[in-house]
Amino acid sequence: MDKDQRSDSPSAKASVDLSRDVFMRDLIRELAGTLEDVIGLEDAAGYISVVGQLIGEKIDSEYKKALSIDRLNQRQVGDVLVDLKRRIDGRFYIVEETEDRIVFGNSQCPFGDKVIGRPSMCMMTSNVFGHIAAENLGYSKVVLEETIAEGHSGCRVVVHLRPTGDAMAAKGREYVAG
């Protein structure tokens, strides 16, 4: 038996809610909370946005490679955004889709209850969605109308695909193809 595997010890049999997934979600929650407390919500969101952009670039590249295409069309963007959240245990779905925007609903955050009270963590969604939409369609503006982090029962995320009057009037983050 490996000396690191002591499955017969009392601690190994203790009912402790700890797994790699729980640990990583706790870690991200505490990092976000520390940033929010030390530098403020806006700056914390900015730091998390940088990480979200890098993750968005990686995910966008992976989907295009897997689909053997150079650019996603609007329908594919919507499908990819729903699918990537599904793969990480989110429950996003398309509420409405027009040529100007895609509206998403969500009933389960990939971070689970660890996101509650940590709105800066929502910048992961904003930046991943914004980056993928902009890189493939040229422009996006992501508006987080409702979030689980802010105490709502679900999320409502609007991804504007064109700089229309409605998009310009909405409070959100703009993204352009890089």
pLDDT digits (tens, 9 = 90+) for 105-135: 999 999 999 999 999 999 999 999 999 999 9
Q: Which two tokens stand for residue 33?
A: 């909370």
Closest to 156 measured CA to CA, from 98, 112, 94, 114: 94
Mean pLDDT, the chain, integer: 93
| Whole-prediction pTM | 0.87
Query: Is the pLDDT assigned to residue 9 strictly greater than 90?
Result: no
**pLDDT, mean of residues 158-164:** 98
Query: Is the pLDDT assigned to residue 14 strictly greater than 90?
Result: no
With the CA atoms of 129, 134, 139 and 143 taken in that order, what torsion angle do they form, in degrees rounded to the nearest 10? 10
Q: What is the CA radius of gyration of the chain?
A: 18
Assign domain 18-176 to its CATH architecture: 2-Layer Sandwich (3.30)
At residue 4, the pLDDT reads: 61
Residue 90's identity, in one-letter code, is G
Q: Which two tokens stand for residue 137?
A: 């369609």
Axis-axis angle for helices 41-67, 123-137 (nearest 10): 50
Which spans in the chain are helix H? 10-13, 20-39, 41-67, 74-87, 123-137, 165-169
114: which DSSP letter? G
